[in-house]
């Protein structure tokens, strides 16, 4: 929270148990906080510091709004972080849903995060290519097209 990300990265490497700790009232992990208030390079360093056996559970951790770190990275247009997380846990792109029933791909569209959107779209697991449920919000059925038009993010419709 104080911008001492070099120290945080070292703690992350030295004490893997801190990677899964909830730090805020909103139940954000270190990774959630880094995505929200840091830069993409810091997020990438934190991802590199994770232990392989913990990666899936950490990337699947949700805060109070039900958002995973991938939701936040998508909404805040961090394409490299999105690519890295999608490579580490491919199913998150299509199966992780927040409390509004939105996938990370939808979060990118809603916020007009073009680079993150295209990165996630290209990162979809190949065995799920015909499945378009990740393109629709569960709560009301609105889909990528609705959100792109509503937000006037017409460049996402290419």
Domain with 150, as residue range(s), is 5-157
- Looking at residue 143, what is its pLDDT? 73
Residue 12 confidence (pLDDT): 87
Q: What's the pLDDT at 70?
A: 97
Which CATH number covers residue 53?
1.25.40.20
Q: Indicate the range of 22-26, 68-72, 73-77, 127-131 predicted with least confidence.
A: 127-131
How many domains, in total, are found in the chain?
1
Predicted TM-score (pTM) of this structure: 0.85
If one compares 50 and 42, the residue with the highest pLDDT of the two is 42
Per-residue b or e along 49-88, where b marks 16 or more CB atoms closer than 10 Å to that residue's CB: bbeeeeeeebbebbbeeebbbbbbbbbbbbbbbbbbbbeb
Q: How confident is the model at residue 128 (pLDDT cuts 50, 70, 90)?
A: low
User: Which two structure tokens, joined as six digits, stand for 66?
Assistant: 């039900």
């Amino acid at each position: 929270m104080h911008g001492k990300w070099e120290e945080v990265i070292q703690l992350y490497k030295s004490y893997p148990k801190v990677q899964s700790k909830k730090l805020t009232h909103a139940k954000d992990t270190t990774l959630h906080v880094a995505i929200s208030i840091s830069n993409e390079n810091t997020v990438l360093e934190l991802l590199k510091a994770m232990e392989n056996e913990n990666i899936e559970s950490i990337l699947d951790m949700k805060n109070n709004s039900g958002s995973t770190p991938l939701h936040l990275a998508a909404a805040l247009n961090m394409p490299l972080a999105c690519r890295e997380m999608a490579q580490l846990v491919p199913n998150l792109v299509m199966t992780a849903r927040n409390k509004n029933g939105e996938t990370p791909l939808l979060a990118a569209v809603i916020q007009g995060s073009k680079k993150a959107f295209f990165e996630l779209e290209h990162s979809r697991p190949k065995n799920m290519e015909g499945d378009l449920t990740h393109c629709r919000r569960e709560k009301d059925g609105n889909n990528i097209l609705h959100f792109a038009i509503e937000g006037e993010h017409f460049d996402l419709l290419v």
